[in-house]
Structure 1
Amino acid sequence: MRFSLLSKSAISFAALTFCFAAVFGTKPATAASFSVVADGLDNVRGLNFGPDGSLYITESGVGGDGRCIPGPSLEGLDSCAGTSGAVTRVKDGKQERILTGLPSVALRPVGATGEGPQDIQFDAAGNPYLLIGYGGNPTIRDFPENAPGWGQLYKVDFNTGSLTSLGDFARYELANNADGEAVLDTSGEIASNPYALAIKGNTAYVVDAAANNVLTVGLDGSNLQSFTVLPKQKITNPVFPTPGPGQVLPPEAPPPDQIPEEVEIQSVPTGAAFGPDGALYVSEYTGFPFPVGEARIFRVASNGEVTVYADGFTQLSDLEFDAQGNLYTVQYSNAPQWLGVADASLIQIAPDGTRTTLLSGNGLESATALTVGPDGAVYVSSKGDRPGVGQVLRVDPKAKVPEPSAVIGILAFASLGLVSFVQRKRKHGKGLS
């Protein structure tokens, strides 16, 4: 999506057309042992194991032929709505879409930048809960017809296919604006994008990637409220894209002769998980220009106090703990998304803070989600930004490789339509923020 110079923030998976293949290519990396357990997925967003031991996958879909709005593509493509969102189950080696007809909006005709079903979690009793995002105007609810509404958490009955709404996070942001700044979409209206959730007891904790906060709601639909707001950070000497002859700057980038010495970027939370200490941990993607090494993992105490648990990452998209207290996190890509680098990394953080990269590149691209299986393996999405080719990989955490250094390369555009998170921020009179 495109935003005016006065907009505060918004997030979507955005197709940015940059000069990737001819300039960068994908560098191979020695890999941990992995296998493909699901394939042919459309814009993978969330992964989780159910009480039956099956793997559940949310697919944001490929949009449809319904209402269209200006999309994020620099090629002028529209994002159009449909009901191609789905939940897929992998059970006993069989992959099957068990819930379909869910709302989806994506670039047409390519089907990239899908937004729709974002995450799925189960409570202690084994009941499933589905989060449907939407980085747009929460007052618009008339598309697609006969589909669940955007920006809400639903309790799901897989036997009947029925969904019961428990909380409307988009409308909450419209009414409350938890962090005190207007979040604007392409039409200048307030927007939010509930993106991931974790469940503790009878409460769901939901991160809103556009409003930059964590919200809570009871699993009975009661007491929807903002729990905490994630902190911004200031970046010195930021690196922005520099267009070549005949190329166009992204709308977020300042002209090359007006690059500020310091910018303030917002958080863009992307994942939520409870740790062995009972605290909530939240992964951060960071805002544009997606600086290398500036993404953080936050620890959120029971009183909402936020501290930085770990830093030095790039574009984190999810996280989860295993039974031994190891924290796993995934970098959507190892360099700012506007570079067109698809290589992603799966990283383990031991309880003593030791970091080990389990997989980097070599089959892991545009990683959007992860989960830890009952077998102790880590399951991570690959090519999660694209229609029809998304995968879920099973990674053996016992086979490890050295952690890669940050990727810093030539800043250039390319012509591969990669799909990635986009956080666009402006502050009036102060350039980018």
Structure 2
Amino acid sequence: MRTSQRRYALRRRVLFSLPSVLMILFIAGCSKLPDLPSAKVTTVASGLMAPMGIETDWHGNIWVAETGTAHNDGKVVVIVPGSDKNATATYDAIINLSSITNALSGEVEGPAHMLFDNGILYILAGDFLYTADVSSFRPGDPAIDATTLSHEDIGSYVRSLNIVTPNDSHPYNLTKGPGGDIYIADAGANAIIQRKKAGDYSVFAQFPDFPNPTSVGPPYIQRVPTGIIFNGNGFLVSTLTGFPFLKGEAVIYRVSMAGKISVYKKNLTTLTDIAPGNFFGEAVLHFANFGATDFEPNTGSLLLTNGLTTKTIADGLNMPAGLKQTNHKSWYVTSLADGTLLEISYTGGGN
């Protein structure tokens, strides 16, 4: 190639790459999220028993954790979507999972969140981390009895450390990090627990209480981590906050691989889960606004945040608890109050 041709080819590569470079710089440096197209909310399944966490498998089936009634009757069900996303079939996949009453809060703690990893389903239920090989399970097969599954007592380990007052543990959500380690958000101990393998646990990070600015409730409010994702460099953790569930006090934290905590986004309210969003930011669930005596129905929302600003993808949700991204324009969401699985997706253009 002659010199002039080489220069022309180089100039073409530079010019053609400029839009991509400018877009990357725009996304990295812009604090304002773009306007979002309207979102469509579709009910995929109903009649679920206090549904929480969501996972999807390689066949497109949807696995949902059901909390149970504190009689060791927690479940994982598999939902097979119909071709039109409306006609579905629901099957029991795992039954008799731990479902107990928390001795401190009096709340039911059953199957919460799950993690799929190469055919293995990890399930947090009560104090336990269950491990189930579901690589050959098909919807309609006899349900797996959880009493036959390998399980680890995460809750007893955490309580033995006595790292929170009053002493508590509620293994709630989990994600996989570098080297295959599992990181567990404990909503009772307000900590992230690192699991290298069965029986090999350590406290990776802790979230301190903050002063209660009101005269209602305790003098200090707990952060209560609820969702955790690994973003390639570290973790993002959503928090609910404890009673009185103040508006604007929930925080998304950034946690480095050294366990150092910093604020990613503040001024949010009662967050219950976090998931990838799109290249503009992360998706996060706002559970509900807290009224005079309880959470107010139909005040939840699915949000998109880039750490600086936040926009609403869908609102009017009834106490959403679990979140799973299916693509950069679509998410599955469980409604704890309605007992439904929803699909929320963009109906127009945008990213």
Report if TM-score (shorter chain) is over 0.5: yes
Matched, 1:308 2:296: no
Map of 1:175 onto structure 2: 160
Deviation at 1:105, TM superposition (A): 3.5
Deviation at 1:287, TM superposition (A): 1.4
Change in Cα spacing, 1:377 to 1:103, as seen in structure 2 (3 Å) is same
Map of 1:394 onto structure 2: 343
Deviation at 1:311, TM superposition (A): 0.8
The equivalences for 1:410-421 within 5 A come to none
SS in 2 for 1:130: strand
Map of 1:270 onto structure 2: 226
Deviation at 1:206, TM superposition (A): 0.4
2:202 aligns with one of 202, 225, 228: 225
Change in Cα spacing, 1:308 to 1:232, as seen in structure 2 (3 Å) is same
Higher relative contact order (CA 8 A, sep 6+): 1
Matched, 1:338 2:316: no
Contact preservation (8 Å) 1:314, 1:336: no
Change in Cα spacing, 1:294 to 1:375, as seen in structure 2 (3 Å) is closer
Map of 1:85 onto structure 2: 74
Q: Distance in 2 between matches of 1:98 and 1:300?
A: 34
**Gaps in structure 1 of 5+ consecutive residues:** 1-29, 64-81, 134-150, 184-189, 241-252, 255-262, 401-433
Contact preservation (8 Å) 1:43, 1:114: no
Matched, 1:163 2:146: no
Map of 2:94 onto structure 1: 99
Q: Distance in 1 between matches of 2:291 and 2:282?
A: 23
Contact preservation (8 Å) 2:253, 2:263: yes
Matched, 1:215 2:193: yes
2:331 aligns with one of 366, 372, 378: 378
The letter of the residue matching 2:315 is S
Contact preservation (8 Å) 1:32, 1:358: yes
Deviation at 1:375, TM superposition (A): 7.3
SS in 2 for 1:173: helix
Change in Cα spacing, 1:49 to 1:375, as seen in structure 2 (3 Å) is farther
Map of 2:238 onto structure 1: 283
- The count of residues paired between Structure 1 and Structure 2 equals 292
1:318 aligns with one of 238, 257, 273: 273
Deviation at 1:234, TM superposition (A): 2.2
| Cα distance per residue 1:96-148 (max 9 Å; x no partner) | 221112222469xxxx954211111112x232111112xxxxxxxxxxxxxxx
Normalising to structure 2: TM-score of the pair? 0.76
Map of 1:44 onto structure 2: 51
The equivalences for 1:123-202 within 5 A come to 123=117, 125-133=118-126, 151-158=127-134, 159=137, 161=144, 162-165=148-151, 167-177=152-162, 179=163, 181-183=164-166, 190-200=167-177, 201-202=179-180
Q: Distance in 2 between matches of 1:156 and 1:206?
A: 17
Map of 2:21 onto structure 1: none
The letter of the residue matching 1:314 is T
Map of 1:368 onto structure 2: 321
Map of 2:23 onto structure 1: none
Contact preservation (8 Å) 1:61, 1:84: yes
More helix, by proportion: 2
Q: Distance in 2 between matches of 1:84 and 1:153?
A: 16
Q: Distance in 2 between matches of 1:198 and 1:378?
A: 18
Cα RMSD (Å) of the superposition? 2.6
| Larger gyration radius, structure 1 or structure 2 | 2
Q: Distance in 1 between matches of 2:229 and 2:328?
A: 19
Deviation at 1:191, TM superposition (A): 2.9
SS in 2 for 1:34: strand
Normalising to structure 1: TM-score of the pair? 0.62
